[in-house]
Amino acid sequence: MAIDPSNFHPINVADTCAVWNILSSTRLNVAAQEARCDFCVTSFVQYECLIKPRKSILPSEQILMDRLRGEQRRGAFLAHSCSIEDLQAIETLERRKKLGKGELSSIAFAMKIRQGFITDDRKAWHLAKDSGHPYSQTTPHLFSWLIFTGRLGDGDKDVVIAQHVEAGRHIAQHLQTAYEMALQCRLNSTVRA
């Protein structure tokens, strides 16, 4: 998934994996807030994150669930219901790819409100792009943009990645690559100037 570290749409509908990956690092989440990024979820994602019954919950999962509840209390990651039209759009999208309701509802809602869709699921990202949605983004893209714009510094990279790994998440290598892309993009923009 190609990303442009110099450009990121700040208002996003997040699917479940993106919610967990953003909240996995408090440093990343704070920097995104300071950059005026706003994330919301659909009711399907809300269910997957906080309500869906689980056989057991790992301590790292409980921490992320508690962080999400805290963010929602302060007005971030608010849940939005889907209308009949949204559900019909989901049904249309569902025929094209085998994805969960969380990803599909997030794509449909993002398209409806003409805002970004943030996911770390390759199939969901491709479906959104293939459906003509111009703002399909990832957590590594967010990270690279925060590095490129100076909202996160070089010293923050290791903190963000360590917090991410400690939270039991699995995109550390993609975050490292995104960091390197941001540095290269910054260097290229300096050379051109």
Q: Which long-range contacts (CB under 8 A, 24 or more apart) does 102-106 make?
A: 102/15, 102/16, 102/42, 102/44, 102/45, 102/47, 102/48, 103/15, 103/16, 103/127, 104/44, 105/42, 105/43, 105/44, 105/45, 106/13, 106/14, 106/15, 106/41, 106/42, 106/44, 106/45
Q: pLDDT at position 87, please?
A: 64
Q: pLDDT at position 193, please?
A: 53
Q: Does pTM top 0.95 for this prediction?
A: no
Could you tell me the mean pLDDT of each successive run of 10 residues in the chain, 193 residues long? Answer: 90 98 98 98 96 94 98 97 70 67 89 95 90 92 98 96 97 97 90 62
Q: pLDDT at position 189, please?
A: 81
How far, in Å, CA of 118 to CA of 86, rounded? 18
Q: pLDDT at position 169, please?
A: 96
All structural domains of the chain: 11-138 (3.40.50.1010)
